């Protein structure tokens, strides 16, 4: 019963946060009211990049929890949907490894004021909000992600690359610095394939 309540709480909190983020980013992206009729028509080239990631995906790869641990096989399910007039990509997913499952929600957008991709990531492990700040290279996206290490009460800065293999597959690679050694290690390397 506790698991169901926690899952419901996680979903409600994440959805509320996503709506709040969407409202703030729309205001930033649009620059407020457009009384001269000069609003940029969608999709822009930046929004087309987000559109490419829309759809249902299954993922398989490896993950590590620290620089000292061995790779674990991970399997993921992901549904990515364009929302708010195709200005945002909302991702709802789960990943399972070694008998445990993590749920996560990601919202990605393009902020034309700062000319960067922005986003948030929340997961069912620590319920912390991960902030994302990124750029594109061709149709690939690279984000700097700031997130919590709840065990040490510290912030971690990671890099997430979303790299297209072909039209129906992309690789997600997350690299972080190990908090003990300072050495970078590959936290996850997952290939997502369209269903």
Q: The CATH number of the domain where 153 resides is what? A: 2.40.128.20
Preceding peptide of 43 cis, ω within 30°: yes
Question: Quick one: pLDDT at residue 152?
Answer: 67
Under 8 Å between Cβ of 78 and 91: yes
Neighbours of 62 (CB within 10 A): 15
Residue 9 φ then ψ, to 5°: -65, -45
Under 8 Å between Cβ of 143 and 132: yes
The mean pLDDT value of the chain amounts to 81
| pLDDT of 1 strictly over 70 | no
- Per the structure, the count of domains in the chain is 1
Question: Quick one: pLDDT at residue 45?
Answer: 84
**Mean pLDDT, to the nearest integer, of 155-184?**
92
DSSP, res 72: E
What is the extent of the structural domain holding 101? Answer: 2-32+42-194
Could you give the CA distance from residue 172 to residue 190 in angstroms, rounded to a whole number?
5
Is the residue at 170 inside a domain? yes
Is the residue at 134 inside a domain? yes
Which pLDDT tens digit goes with each residue over 38-91? 566 767 888 889 999 999 999 999 998 777 888 999 999 999 999 998 899 999
Is the residue at 37 inside a domain? no
| pLDDT of 186 strictly over 80 | yes
């Amino acid at each position: 019963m506790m698991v169901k309540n926690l899952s419901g709480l996680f979903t409600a909190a994440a959805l509320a946060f996503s709506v709040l983020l969407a409202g703030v980013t729309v205001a930033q992206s649009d620059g407020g009211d457009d009384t001269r009729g000069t609003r940029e028509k969608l999709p822009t080239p930046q929004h087309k990049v987000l559109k490419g990631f829309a759809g249902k995906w299954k993922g398989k790869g490896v993950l590590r929890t620290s620089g000292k641990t061995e790779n674990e096989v991970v399997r993921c399910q992901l549904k990515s949907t364009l929302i708010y007039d195709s200005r945002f990509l909302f991702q709802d997913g789960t990943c399972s490894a070694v008998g445990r499952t993590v749920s996560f929600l990601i919202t990605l957008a393009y902020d034309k004021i700062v000319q960067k991709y922005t986003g948030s990531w929340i997961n069912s492990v620590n319920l912390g909000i991960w902030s994302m700040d990124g750029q594109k290279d061709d149709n690939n996206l690279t984000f700097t992600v700031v997130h919590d290490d709840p065990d040490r009460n510290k912030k971690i800065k990671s890099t997430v690359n979303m790299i297209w293999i072909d039209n129906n597959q992309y690789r997600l690679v997350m690299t972080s610095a190990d908090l003990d050694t300072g050495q970078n290690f590959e936290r996850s390397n997952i290939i997502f394939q369209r269903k």
